[in-house]
Structure 1
């Protein structure tokens, strides 16, 4: 196996590892965040204006910070969590923190698309807020939520490449260290091609599940 191929394989695996784990964390934490943002808003089933405004402000702050700056700002926190601020595992921390509020907003938007009449019908039948969330809101919005997960994963592919700038590993790190610093244009082109392929594959998988869920509704 040539050195170039080995470098590409290792870096591709590192990128996949970062993106998959970060997407899972963003999904597990971002969906509940989005649900909470929606149900505590004005006129919703658990209206709480103060809590909603606090959460919304925090989400907006994190979404406003460019990812490269977030990488640097979170270095002490990353070091506290994983013991280092450099490397593939360390990059997962800022990637996840950047993706959670993004996934939260997408989930909130998806839930707002649910027909309010369906919610009112569930309330009329005596459903509790928890039952409305789990039996009405999330099932009805699931195709849109899955589409949001796909968008989040695709964004994380790009973010993971940025993480390479500060030694986060993956294809971005390979492109910087070899493609840019050593003027190895072939490696630069291969990293771009692999990133494009990853985005296309992620979109295809996401679209497949969205279509399946839409048909089953």
Structure 2
């Protein structure tokens, strides 16, 4: 019976996996493009660094803290008007990726900032003493030194996005989480629940394992 039920749900599961991949892929892309530079900017505008700017730092810090303080389910609902404005649609994985992107950008930015703060101050001082420009320090010293930690930050962000995407079904986003809720929880189908849980565990473990391998390879210490 279990095998028959699993075989029947495979098309729905494949569709849900595709929707989750689309949501996570879009939002992670925006997080990488915007979140990493934002994290660098948060770091280099702090006191004692070469682009110290209290005003800019305060504004960025306020934005990051505001978004990160909101539970994702509230953020998801609050951004429905913005999603409608940008896409003229509020249903589907693409629409759900708007809220996921807004949540992921400050999340990754803060992790990147934390990664850069782990770098010994002496490394920056040595680069400045050699006459390196701020841009050169960022590219040649800060990012290579913090790369293993940044890779782990991206890994954590990806896994968090998979968890957040499970709530996207509330606004019709679809995905594996939505499949588990609609077909597993609401219909009391334990087979669907167990299969989706196993699939999510395998995905998360695979992503974490890949992140660990890449971080170790990037670590030159």
Compute the TM-score of the two structures, normalised by the length of structure 1.
Answer: 0.96
Q: Which moved more, 1:101-110 or 1:7-16?
A: 7-16
The answer on whether the counterparts of 1:164 and 1:171 sit within 8 Å (CA) in structure 2 is: no
Of residues 139, 146, 155 in structure 1, which corresponds to 2:151?
146
- 2:187 is the alignment partner of 1:182: yes
Root-mean-square deviation over aligned CA pairs: 1.3
**Aligned mates of 1:47, 1:197 — CA distance in 2:** 44
Q: Contact 1:34–1:108 at 8 Å: present in 2 too?
A: yes
1:173 aligned to which of 178, 181, 189: 178
Q: Give how far 1:175 is off.
A: 1.4
Q: Whole-Å Cα distance in 2 between the matches of residues 24 and 147 of structure 1? A: 16
Length-normalised TM-score, structure 2? 0.94
Query: Are 2:197 and 1:192 equivalent residues in the alignment?
Result: yes
Residue 89 of structure 2 aligns to a residue whose secondary structure is: coil
8 A Cα contact 1:111 1:141, kept in partner: yes
- 5+ residue gaps, structure 1, are none
Match of 2:110 in 1: 105
Alignment size in residue pairs: 216
Return the offset for 1:2: 4.1
The answer to whether 1:212 aligns with 2:217 is yes
Structure 1 segment 151-170 matched on structure 2, within 5 A = 151-170=156-175
Q: What CA distance in whole angstroms lies between the structure 2 residues aligned with 1:123 and 1:180? A: 59
Any idea what SS the aligned residue of 1:195 has? helix
Q: Distance in 2 between matches of 1:170 and 1:188?
A: 13
Structure 2 counterparts to residues 106-121 of structure 1, below 5 A:
106-121=111-126
Whether 1:5 aligns to 2:10 is yes
In structure 2, the gaps of 5 or more residues are 1-5
Does 2:77 match 1:72? yes
Deviation at 1:129, TM superposition (A): 1.1
